[in-house]
Structure 1
Amino acid sequence: MRWVSWLSIPVLLLLLVAVVQTAGSVEAPLTAAPEIPAQQRLDAAVQRLNQRFQQRWQQAGLQPVAQADDLTVFRRVSLALFGCVPALAEIRAFERDQQPDRLDRWIVRMLRDDRFGRYFADRLARSLTGVEQGPLFIFRRDRLRDWLAQQLLADAAWGQMTRDLIAAEGLWTDQPAANFLTIARMENEELDETKLAGRTVRAFLGQRIDCAQCHDHPFDPFWKQGHFEGFAAWYCQATVSLAGVTDFDRDKSQQPVVYRIMDGGAEDKTGR
């Protein structure tokens, strides 16, 4: 059985290399926090917000609990931004930082960390597209999630991200924002505009108006069936094929598509 021991040597070496490579791929913990430029500080805004809270507490006759210590806040922020508690090395580095603004600086550093981008992108992708698998091949959740993480870490404006998502064109791999649309592809290569209308309002307006697809909203007098139809019409000219998402500028009769904002429930004599 001597050959077994000789055979185990290269196996052990391979395992050792794998362990070293895996250890090297683990992200290094935060060990320092950058200085915050004066123009980016939010002290005045935080003070106004605190004053507002204090006024509300006084009006309600509430007595706030004692302020949490910095390490407790650091742990809570890590759970909120990364989904996990800080690493031991991060805790030790935070404790060595005795500057009065250490929390502000460490939070800024955490918002620049890849872990924040991935963690929030995963949750943002769920709010945008749900948890369904989507059509095979033409919906790539991983590409959408990576794109969202890049946008978050680049501090992209939410308004621009919204435009990129709802007006995306091209292949879902080259234009990852298009995956917001391709998940609603039907078998005839058209988009399910009713699904996209409801999802758009939920994701970007924080409202649920799915029932307005068939009738005026029974509880909210603002939302009419015409509003839902207007949102759905936004996606009517778009199709999804193996070539990607295409938004046509002409209807089936080859007439130019004209988008107009109308009052809820109003009808357009042209039918568009």
Structure 2
Amino acid sequence: MDDLAGFLRTRRSRVDPASAGIPTDSRRRVQGLRREEVAHLSGVSVDYYVRLEQGRATQPSEQVLDTLARVLGLDDTEREHLHRLARQPRRRARTPGGRVRPELLRVLDLVPDAPALIVDHRLDVLAGNRLARLLFGTPMPGLNTARHVFLEETDGGLYADWENCTLDVVGHLRLAAGKYPDDRRLAELIGELAMGSERFRRLWARADVRARTHGRKPYRHPLVGLLELHHENFALQDASGLELLVLSAAPGSPAEDGLRLLAGLDADGAAAATGVNPEARTS
């Protein structure tokens, strides 16, 4: 699903030659750096770098990878992704099962005033609390946020900052594809998104990676209006590959009032209060 050669090519194309000390003129037709220029700046032979971009050179050293990361201007997330892609032939991570422990479901129950979800590396929502179900307007198990963003919602829908949201989703899936190259279900999801969304195809071709940790996440709810929320992603320190995502509102903000209003809209009774499919407790 992802490969070292393609990642190097896309990163090379975005580097401004001037920033690397390479003079340019109007006759230059290459976007970014040439292969020969990357090789020279990295201290490797042109032949070796060409073989890297063609997928014919395997197991580059840590020193070479760190040098390439510096020359290509990679951030920490991209640098880690580069190293992971280079290690794939030797060590491929096992796809996590994503089992939701009962203790995690109890944690969701302890977050009554903010939407909280448990998601896997494919962005499948495995469980969510009551406010999460009300925010997304759908039962939590069965929702995939990548599919929701690209195939079910559009600019002007639930995601108030839809374009940036699409960047986050694609960047996350790129990271997941690098970590779990043998995940058939992830490959099928990426194929489905590529078939159904022209924007997804364009963003996927850029090979950008993003780590979702925290930040602004605005939603436009059809009944309570704009909710300016803050997301915190807590990666679970086990082999499950799961994350706990909490969407909070600043104290005294309009978003806090909006969440209170959202909570008061629920009229489905006790079964809707959990927002969790009982089957998720044993999945």
Q: TM-score, normalised by structure 2?
A: 0.23
Q: TM-score, normalised by structure 1?
A: 0.23
Structure that is richer in helix per residue? 1
Structure whose CA Rg is larger: 1
Structure that is richer in strand per residue? 2
Greater RCO, CA 8 A, separation 6+: 2
